């Protein structure tokens, strides 16, 4: 789960990370009021959306007076901000963060991520901040510094000092960096985060370190024990199909094709999408119904897949272990009748109670297409697409 910049800053500040003064605005008038409240003669207005690259997309601006703040805010509210990290629909702008402008002498990149290879938390840092990490890795890979943290020990002071030295910090800046690094690590560890990023972490004209921007992402599976984090969820920034699926315990990722997929198991889902591509089709989604799929759960999966109007055919591919093929078959038949389906549905069942599952499909009296293998199912799904989609 992602959160907004201002929310990430509030969390990091509570752990001891220095951040600029700022205020949230839900209207142009409130944006102007926030600028007056903060004081000074320059403010940065930032669109709060779950995406990077906001500045290049016109979602961030330095304003020199209150009228400019209100005017820019008015141009942002209700706008769909399209960045290089969003799809063509962009993300809706419904709140802004107004922040006092900072005197920037240097920008640093700082990120905490999970390194699955080493099974450790990894710090990635660079003295060349202000850029996306992908761009840094491509344009200046030598600037990247990496350090892994043993979770049994945590981030030690000597590790933090070593990284500060590698980034070229001096004097009191080293102690500040040590404090920031350890605060970020505690926030990552204590809140079940999967990513903490400060970009840029700036050195001001007076030599102080300040987090000018911040991002945090959290392990969705751990939200049940982090209610203070779960409360920060903003559904307006999520794909409504993915939100609805998540509410029903389904794993869903929307794609751009026209073949809807209902599958159990992430590995089988990936293999199914690959087979669809090999057969010349395009998957419309990744949907994993998980184990113990009841007929009701299968119906919910159909409703989720069919919410995408691009779907012209549905492929059900189940390898039953914990699941039972007869349960899935009952769900397919129920969904077809309840939802009044008119598009082709291809069903491939294997595993527990497969004979009974196939009998239910074959004797349903419905125009369901049965397949014995994944290759046959993918080929049948591609061949069954409406002509305009083929």
Active site residues: 109, 197
Q: Is 353 annotated as a binding residue?
A: no
3 state SS of 251:
strand
Q: Is 310 annotated as a binding residue?
A: no
DSSP state at residue 152: T
Q: Is 58 annotated as a binding residue?
A: no
Distance CA(100)–CA(163), nearest Å, equals 29
Q: Is 267 annotated as a binding residue?
A: no
> For residue 197, which of 181, 179, 216 has the smallest C-alpha distance?
216
Q: What DSSP letter does each residue of 49-83 carry, written as one string? A: -S-S-TTTTT-EEEESSHHHHHHHHHHHTT-EE--
Per this entry, what is the length of the chain?
Answer: 390
Q: Is 107 annotated as a binding residue?
A: yes
Distance CA(111)–CA(319), nearest Å, equals 39
> For residue 346, which of 267, 262, 271 has the smallest C-alpha distance?
262
Q: Is 326 annotated as a binding residue?
A: no
Q: Are 171 and 152 in contact (CB under 8 A)?
A: no
DSSP state at residue 88: T
DSSP state at residue 141: G
Q: What DSSP letter does each residue of 199-244 carry, written as one string? A: EEEEEETTS-EEE---EEEE-GGGGGG-HHHHTT--GGGS-HHHHH
Q: Is 243 annotated as a binding residue?
A: no
Hey, what's the torsion of the CAs at 39, 43, 49, 54, to 10 degrees? -170
Q: Is 54 annotated as a binding residue?
A: yes
Distance CA(340)–CA(70), nearest Å, equals 50
Q: Is 102 annotated as a binding residue?
A: yes
Q: Are 99 and 44 in contact (CB under 8 A)?
A: yes
Q: Is 111 annotated as a binding residue?
A: no
Residues annotated in the binding site for Mg(2+), as ranges?
199, 213
Residues annotated in the binding site for substrate, as ranges?
264
Residues annotated in the binding site, as ranges?
46, 53-55, 99, 102, 107, 199, 213, 264
Residues annotated in the binding site for ATP, as ranges?
46, 53-55, 99, 102, 107
């Amino acid at each position: 789960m992602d959160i907004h910049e201002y929310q990430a800053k509030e969390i990091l500040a509570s752990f001891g990370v220095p951040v600029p003064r700022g205020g949230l605005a839900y209207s142009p008038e409130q944006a102007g009021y926030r600028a007056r409240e903060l004081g000074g003669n320059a403010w940065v207005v930032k669109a709060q959306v779950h995406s990077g690259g906001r500045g290049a997309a016109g979602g961030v601006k330095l304003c020199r007076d209150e009228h400019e703040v209100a005017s820019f805010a008015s141009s942002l509210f209700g706008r769909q901000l399209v960045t290089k990290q969003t799809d063509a629909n962009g993300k809706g702008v419904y709140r802004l963060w107004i922040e006092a402008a900072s005197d920037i002498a240097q920008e640093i990149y700082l990120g905490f991520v999970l390194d699955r290879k080493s099974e450790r938390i990894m710090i990635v840092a660079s003295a060349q901040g202000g850029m996306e990490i992908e761009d840094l890795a491509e344009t200046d890979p030598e600037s990247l510094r990496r350090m892994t943290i043993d979770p049994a020990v945590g981030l030690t002071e000597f590790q933090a000092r070593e990284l500060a030295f590698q980034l070229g910090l001096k004097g009191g800046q080293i102690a500040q960096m040590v404090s920031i690094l350890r605060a970020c690590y505690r926030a990552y560890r204590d809140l079940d985060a999967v990513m903490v990023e400060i970009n840029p972490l700036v050195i001001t004209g007076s030599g102080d370190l300040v987090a000018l921007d911040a991002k945090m992402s959290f392990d969705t599976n751990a939200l049940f024990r982090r209610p203070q984090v779960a409360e920060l969820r903003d559904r307006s920034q999520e794909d409504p199909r993915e939100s609805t699926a998540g509410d029903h315990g389904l794993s869903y990722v929307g794609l751009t094709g026209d073949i809807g997929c209902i599958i159990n198991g992430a590995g089988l889902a990936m293999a199914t999408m690959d087979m669809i591509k090999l057969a010349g089709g395009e998957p419309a989604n990744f949907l994993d119904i998980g184990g113990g799929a009841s007929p009701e759960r299968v119906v919910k999966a159909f409703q989720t897949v069919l919410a995408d109007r691009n779907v012209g055919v549905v492929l059900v591919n189940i390898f039953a272990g914990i699941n039972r093929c007869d349960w899935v078959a009952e769900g397919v038949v129920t969904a077809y009748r309840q939802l009044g389906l008119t598009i082709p549905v291809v069903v491939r069942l294997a595993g527990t109670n497969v004979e009974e599952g196939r009998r239910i499909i074959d004797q349903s009296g419905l125009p369901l297409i049965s397949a014995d293998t994944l290759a046959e199912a993918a080929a049948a799904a591609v061949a069954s697409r409406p002509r305009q989609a083929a």
